[in-house]
Structures are given as C-alpha cells and as structure tokens.
Amino acid sequence: MERQRTAQRLVQLLLEKGLGISTAESCTGGMVAAALVDVPGASQVYEEGYITYSDRVKERVLGVRKETLQKHTAVSVETAREMAEGAARISGAQMAISVTGYAGPEPAEDGTPAGTVYIGVWYRGECQAMECHFQGGRQQVRRQAAQQALTLAAERLEKSA
C-alpha cells in the first residue's frame, strides 16, 4: 500500500513538472515499473523500462561498461549510476531510476550480504546513487528496494525547483 502511495506521489510530481521517467531494474525484476504503471495517468510520464538481470544485458542494453562490472561488480554504486544513466540516455526521459542488488536468500559469492541493494536516480544530467541494506527474505528485500527507489525519485523531484 505504501509503495502505491509513493508511486502515485511520484507520477503526480512528474505530471506537474511535465517530465518523463524510465526504469532499469535488476533484483526488483520490474516491481518499480509495475508500481508506476498501476497509477492512472502513468502513460503520460512513464517512457519505458529495462529488466537487465545479467551483466551481459546490463552492458549490451544499458551501456554499463565492462570495466565497471569487472572492477566493482553488478551490485555496486557505480553500476547503479551507469544503469540509470543508460536508461535515461536510450529512453530520452528526464528522470531514470535504477536498482541492482542481492535479494538473497544467500550472500553473494564475494560475501556481500543478502539485502545489499544500490539505487540510482538520474535527473536532468545528474545521477545520485546510494547503498541500502534491507532485511528479510528475498521478496521482502525486493519490495523494500522498489519502495526505496520510488521514494528517492519522489524526494529528488520535491527538492528540485
């Protein structure tokens, strides 16, 4: 319910500002996009979305650099930034959200704990990305990550002039 309220708030802000948005998701598998398109009127602001679960697709579709994936892995602030930038570039949207992380239930091969997620918000040429740590099972982590991504995007718009 909270995710839907946040998605409604974000869509309303986008409508008021006349902006478009796109999404690039990995661990959330389209949950951010689904929350947005559940909102009446979203068709006026939602441009397109990309579910890029594999490194190969992150690189091929979104333009995440191979060097970034090798040096920092797919689950990193650097990859979240490049995913959001890529989604904005190829969609032409003024805002893009990216989510990449380890939903679990097990830690990553490198020992990174399950629940580690990076979210990127690209807005008019500037990308902010942050590291998050969520608790719970795989579905709980994915839901929390989608909620946080929507919240960060709405807050970014609320702070802009």
Q: What are the structure tokens assigned to 151, written together?
A: 């919240």
pLDDT in tens, 53-84: 999 999 999 999 999 999 999 999 999 999 99
Q: Distance between CA atoms of 106 and 51, rounded to whole angstroms? A: 22
The amino acid that residue 77 corresponds to is V
State the residue for tokens 């719970």. Answer: 136
Domains present along the chain, CATH in parentheses: 2-159 (3.90.950.20)
pLDDT in tens, 83-114: 999 999 999 999 999 999 999 988 888 889 99
Average pLDDT across the chain, whole number: 96
| pLDDT at residue 50 tops 70 | yes
Binned at pLDDT 50, 70 and 90, residue 161 comes out as low
Q: Cis link prior to 105 (omega < 30° from 0)? A: yes
Conformation bin of residue 29: beta by default, left when phi > 0, alpha when psi is -120 to 50: left
Provide the pLDDT for residue 21: 98
| pLDDT at residue 158 tops 70 | yes
Q: Identify whether the C-beta of residue 7 lies closer than 8 Å to the C-beta of residue 31.
A: no
